[in-house]
Amino acid sequence: MTIAEIQELIRRDETRTLELKKTTGELKDAMRTACAFLNTDGGFIIFGIAPVSLKVLGQDVTDATRREIAQALSGIEPAIDIKPEYVDVPESNGKQLIVLHFDRWNLG
């Protein structure tokens, strides 16, 4: 996913299929949203965007950040295969957006 595609998504603001989080400090709440997405029509969770102003902030992504995300995703049952996307934010000193895309669960 490119920064332009993300900006197009957030132009529509938060919807039934889009959740914006400022940082991964909100990871626990985001996983509740992930379960809701999996049980409905799917959706995107994007970390690094101010939910009210829709300003693209990005965040510093460390190995610890990646581990925290992987651990949170591994707690979803039944297991899912989600690959976080890390998108560079231009002119931000290396900050990135973290995009999680969830398809609807197909348990049949």
Residues 6+ apart with CB under 8 A from 3: 56, 87, 88, 89, 90, 97
- The pLDDT of residue 81 is above 60: yes
Better-scored residue on pLDDT, 78 or 26: 26
- The closest of 104, 105, 106, 86 to 96, measured between CA atoms, is 86
Alpha helix stretches (DSSP H) within 24-96: 27-39, 63-74
Candidate from 37-41, 46-50, 65-69, 94-98 with smallest mean pLDDT: 37-41
User: Does the pLDDT of residue 23 top 90, yes or no?
Assistant: yes
The per-residue pLDDT for 108 is 52
**Is 14 a residue whose pLDDT tops 80?**
no
Question: What local confidence, expressed as pLDDT, does residue 106 receive?
Answer: 73
